[in-house]
Structure 1
Amino acid sequence: MPLALLALAVAAFGIGTTEFVIMGLLPDVARDLSVSIPDAGLLITGYALGVVFGAPILAVGTANMPRKATLLGMTLMFILGNMLCALAPNYATLMAARVITALCHGAFFGIGSVVAAGLVAPNKRAQAIAMMFTGLTLANVLGVPLGTALGQYAGWRSTFWAVSVIGVLAAIAQWVWLPKNIAMDKANLASEFMVLGKANVLLALGMSVLASTSLFSVFTYIAPILQDITGVSPHGVTIMLLLFGVGLTAGSMLGGRLADSRLLPSLVGMALAVLLVLAAFTQ
């Protein structure tokens, strides 16, 4: 795999860490800023809204811009947002900083996926995209548990400073390893929106919406649930986040290989497997 994919994966690692790590630090943030757990949870909602509105706006606004410059610009926005999170003196400022950080999230992964697929042979495209998204899932294996542990030890702000450093490393890697001239199709805004009329696109979007809703309904409050309801220690929360991330990473790597061979049967099979596991553990 080209080193350019590694550069994209490093950026994905940083973005994934800053998105998920606050879930492990929710009680610490709420206590430090003197807000309730539900109010602190809105920081995650604010980030999600930033992703929802930022992705289409930035995707349309940068449709005809050079891909390398666009990805670097979004990474710089990510660095700025995390630095503002680390410096936020109050809840309102932290909320604004989270939204700023989130603006580049969806667009980066959308553009990054296209770039990743264009860096390899056609029969390796799914694996290339999975490679980039491995950075996102590795964020749950390493970034979130380590970031949570760092935040519990040195204060939650230290975690955002550490993520800012990851962003700087990602920007350097993209500057060095991404090709200067990345091939791109001329964008047509009308055709960009017309794609939403295709059944297979709506199916993919629907699956993503349902999967994300089910995940974040629980994952948002995983730290207070584990500590206050099940009696898990802060150290135990870190271990649980690690186990969660291992599952995500293994699934991402396996999914990329299966998609390159048989896409639809793989999707159906994995969905059925998830339903069987949930049924077995909820009896």
Structure 2
Amino acid sequence: MTPSERRSFLRVAAAALAASPWLASAAEDMSKEHDMHAMPASWKGAEQIGMLMYPGMTALDFVGPQHMLAGLVGAKVHHVAKTMSAVVSDTQLAFMPTVTLDEAPRDLDILFVPGGGDGTLAAMQDPHILAFLADRGRRAKWVSSVCTGSLLLGAAGLLKGYQATTHWATHELLTVVGAAPVQARVVRDRNRITGAGVSAGLDLGLSIVGMLRDPAYAQTMQLLAEYAPDPPYSAGTPLSAPPEVTKMVAEMFKDFNPKMRAALVSQGFYDSASKGPQQ
């Protein structure tokens, strides 16, 4: 690393540290030691980010991207829910909203939606949530999701004609909302960015950070998070997991997928499998 590259790295590191509450003092020390006035304008933004929360969402779907997006210097992250009451996830973790659906900024730079199981199914049939997503999604610069959150985006009419991904077990349902399924960890099609199942939220968050800032900024966030996946088992996809494990997990969705399919068809989406109505 050349002296110039080192100085650039230190500046972006200090910027990322400044956005991390638990390392704020370290950022202050770095800022004193290194000239921060030369920081490129692209390293600081003013994004308005709306992250939807709803009962029964998957906690990691939300937390992974939130950790990365909260590290964007100058950005404002809004935790959006129907009310200001605590939102309990599918694993009983409670999250506190910062703003209600009605109070959230009308013009968002990023709209993000997490996934889940029955909680997502309920959200897909909630007129208030769907209206919020349709309204903010029409104007948002970027519309994003993780896991079955993409199907919630789809239920709000935001994925028709876009390539997208979701949890592998619900991939086939993307066609019901008019999306083109793509088997990938993160899929970007114009201003739609969707992540695969659960842990893919970390990849999605890093991808957005790199897109809004630059690779060095995203790499700094990755290093701060020590995000270096090295799982003890190679079973993270249907192709790598033992066949009996894949079969067992797929069985877990045998009741859920038909419910979600029926919910979408009831809202006017066409499903070739069940000959449901055309939207």
Same fold by TM-score greater than 0.5: no
The structure whose residues are more often strand, as a share, is 2
Q: Name the one with the larger helix percent.
A: 1
- Structure number with the bigger relative contact order (C-alpha 8 A, sep ≥ 6) is 1
TM-score scaled by length of structure 1: 0.27
TM-score between the two structures when normalised by the length of structure 2: 0.28
